[in-house]
Amino acid sequence: MIHGLFPDLPKFKDFRLQVDRHSTKRFPVLDMNGKTEIAIHHSLTRQGLSGSNAEGFARYHVNANGWPSIGYSYVIEPDGTIKFCNPVNWRTYHVGNSNNFSIGICLTGDFRYEDPTDEQKKSLVLLVERLKKEYPQINRVRSHNEYPDYAWKKCCEFDYKKVLSEGNKEASKEELGSTYKVQEGDTFWSIAKGREFDVIDLEHANPKVDPQKLQIGQMINIPASEKEKATAEEKESNEYHGNSIVKYLESLGLDSSYNHRARLAVKNGVVSSTSSYKGTAQQNIKLLNILRDANTKAEQKYEELVIDGSWGVATTRRLQQVLGIVVDGVISGQVINGVTRNIHSVEFGRGGSLLIREMQKVLGVKVDGYIGINTTKALQRRMGTTVTGRISRMNSAVVRAMQRRLNKNIF
């Protein structure tokens, strides 16, 4: 098993294949039972600078230090993303002589001059909580400079104890969901304080409870706040948020078959060939994360297409976004013909393009990944423009029609 891989945690990313690794050196693998501590670091690099992220730290640790890979098991980025870089039973390098028994978590930032973001704090709390739950032998959390020989080190420079204890209080409040366990000194007023409901709501939710006679340990109902209700409704109307790749693809109206997932897994670098795709939970979650990421990035990044009838990178990106595949703006593996010569985002080569295959499936023509006269004619029929089997280089009618549809997120 892979120790420390928790794909179900919010904002968790299996990042093991994304960080640089030394060509020959490897971290020693240890017995998980010996891992009894968690060490907290900051990266000492300001948030938002280029290279101030897990990828950058890994490059530095490999190229400058000659290490096997990044010295931490996890990096928590300013947006709260938890990048899982090394299994936690590996002897990575971060606290010298204490590496054997310590798991390294690094928060990106230079906390001498800035503070961890709320998202980072939240993710740290969840991650530490999860590690302790999964590995009960963990009995201590320390900052880097609380380790022997490191008192001089300005790491981690934020009050991690406060973050963890406040986070735990929050979590235990929320953990019970719609009920709350009465603590010493509680009144309806103190329970409602700081929450998004008031005493009246609390009384309505607990008709049989006498607010004057609360008992320690008594369970009372917590009314759903307006905000929580709104979030629940939003979730219903929005895209799929779960962990099933099949449901995710279905929610986008895409082919969710095993074979198609295998092709997506190859195209997105999850496996090297369709035969090594076995549909395991790990492969599926990785693929899901990549696709979601591509979609999110695409949504953030791409604004309205200019309707210019010229099929360039922007148009290809929007097509990829709308068809739910990885967004790189390139139509790869094409042969030279009258059509491809006029598409600016085409790359000549072999193997066809996933995007063209996706388009061909929708268009109901032969699915081979190559765009030529037949696919173009089908595209023109779909877009309702004159069927010629040709695409003009500039100001093409079919491309203009397609761009208009893409701006409405339809193909």
Choice between 15 and 160, CB closer to Zn ion: 160
Give 127 or 155: the residue with its C-beta nearer to Zn ion: 155
Q: With respect to Zn ion, which residue has the nearer C-beta, 145 or 320?
A: 145
At its nearest, how many Å lie between Zn ion and the CB of residue 112? 12
Please state the closest distance from residue 18 (CB atom) to Zn ion, in A: 22
d(CA 77, CA 330): 29
Q: Which residues inside 317-356 make contact with Zn ion, applying CB under 5 A? A: none
Which CB, 71 or 87, lies closer to Zn ion?
71
Work out the angle at residue 57's Cα, subtended by the Cα atoms of residues 293 and 151, and round it to the nearest 5 degrees: 130
Closest CB 52 distance from Zn ion, rounded Å: 15
141-180 positions binding Zn ion, by CB under 5 A: 144, 155
> With binding defined as CB under 5 A, does residue 401 bind Zn ion?
no
Tell me how far apart the alpha carbons of residues 379 and 363 are, in angstroms, rounded to a whole number: 7
Q: Which is nearer to Zn ion, 3 or 144 (CB)?
A: 144
CA atoms within 13 A of residue 278's CA, in its CB half-sphere = 4
Q: Is the CB of 154 or the CB of 193 nearer to Zn ion?
A: 154
If the CB atoms of residues 141 and 155 are measured against Zn ion, the closer one turns out to be 155
Give the number of residues in contact with Zn ion, rule: CB under 5 A: 3
Q: One symbol per residue from 2 to 41: x for binding Zn ion (CB under 5 A), - otherwise; what is it?
A: ---------------------------------------x
* Closest distance to Zn ion from the beta carbon of 144 (Å): 3
Rounded to whole angstroms, how far apart are CA atoms 182 and 361? 59
Other beta carbons less than 10 A from residue 389's beta carbon: 15
- Contact pattern for Zn ion over residues 242 through 281, marking x by CB under 5 A: ----------------------------------------
CA 103 to chain centroid, in Å, comes to 22
- Number of other residues whose CB lies within 10 A of the CB of residue 175: 10
| Interacting span for Zn ion (CB under 5 A) from 123-131, 138-146, 296-304, 353-361 | 138-146
Q: Rounded to the nearest whole angstrom, what is the least distance from the CB of residue 41 to Zn ion in the complex? A: 3
Residue closer to Zn ion, measured from CB, 105 or 314: 105
Which residues lie near Zn ion (CB under 5 A)?
A: 41, 144, 155
